[in-house]
């Protein structure tokens, strides 16, 4: 499926699990959040994505070929969207709360960890030269406008 145009890793895994019941776990933002809390993944995103993918796959029943991977994937997506929400997760309602490492520690709202954002430098000036590679990007102002030429 990955050879098809526009089909990336997530979409291919979702189709494989939901439509063809293949033992794969498509990891969207909801599953990412559930897994990172369940296992208390300390590594920040996006670096943690491969580990989260690996841990998510462990949630599939390894010994059963009829594990209904599509149902498992949809259940985790629903869990992440309705109970294990980004803010104020309803841990008391979660069917996985006994096994959740971050809940046991009491820091579930801090997961998934996010990499620190880079701060941009504030630049002030009356005029700027904008380039793209060797190109000089120029725009002519309209004849009748604020600061018209």
In a domain, 140, yes or no: no
Instruction: Please choose, from the candidates 111, 115, 117, 116, the residue with its C-alpha nearest in 3D space to the C-alpha of residue 32.
Output: 111
In a domain, 74, yes or no: yes
Identify any residues that bridge with 130 across adjacent strands, giving them in sequence order: 137
In a domain, 102, yes or no: yes
Instruction: State the residue range of the domain holding 14.
Output: 9-110
Give the chain's domain count.
Answer: 1
Instruction: Please choose, from the candidates 31, 33, 34, the residue with its C-alpha nearest in 3D space to the C-alpha of residue 94.
Output: 34
Q: Whole-prediction pTM value?
A: 0.74
| Cβ burial, residue 21 (10 Å; 0-12/13-18/19+) | middle
In a domain, 145, yes or no: no
In a domain, 143, yes or no: no
Compute the distance between CA of residue 100 and CA of residue 94 in angstroms, rounded to an integer: 9
Write out the chain's pLDDT in tens, 149 residues: 888 899 998 999 999 988 888 888 999 999 999 999 999 999 999 999 999 999 999 988 655 556 688 888 899 999 999 999 999 999 999 999 999 999 999 999 999 999 888 887 777 766 667 788 888 777 666 777 666 65
In a domain, 38, yes or no: yes
The DSSP-derived string for 5-68 is: TT--HHHHHHHHHHTT--S-----HHHHHHHHHHTT--SPBTTTHHHHHHHHHTTS-TT-TT--
CATH code of the domain in which 72 resides: 1.10.1670.10
């Amino acid at each position: 499926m990955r050879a098809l145009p526009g089909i990336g890793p997530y979409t291919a895994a979702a189709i494989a699990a939901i439509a063809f019941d293949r033992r794969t776990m498509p990891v969207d933002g909801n599953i990412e959040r559930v897994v990172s809390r369940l296992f208390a993944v300390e590594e920040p995103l996006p670096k943690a994505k491969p580990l989260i993918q690996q841990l998510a796959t462990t949630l599939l029943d390894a010994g059963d070929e009829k594990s209904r991977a599509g149902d498992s994937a949809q259940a985790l997506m629903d869990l992440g969207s309705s109970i294990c929400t980004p803010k104020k997760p309803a841990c008391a309602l979660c069917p996985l709360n006994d096994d959740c490492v971050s809940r046991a520690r009491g820091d579930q709202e801090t997961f998934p960890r996010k990499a620190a954002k880079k701060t941009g430098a504030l630049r002030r000036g009356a005029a700027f030269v904008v380039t793209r590679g060797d190109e000089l990007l120029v725009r002519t102002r309209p004849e009748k406008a604020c600061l018209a030429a």
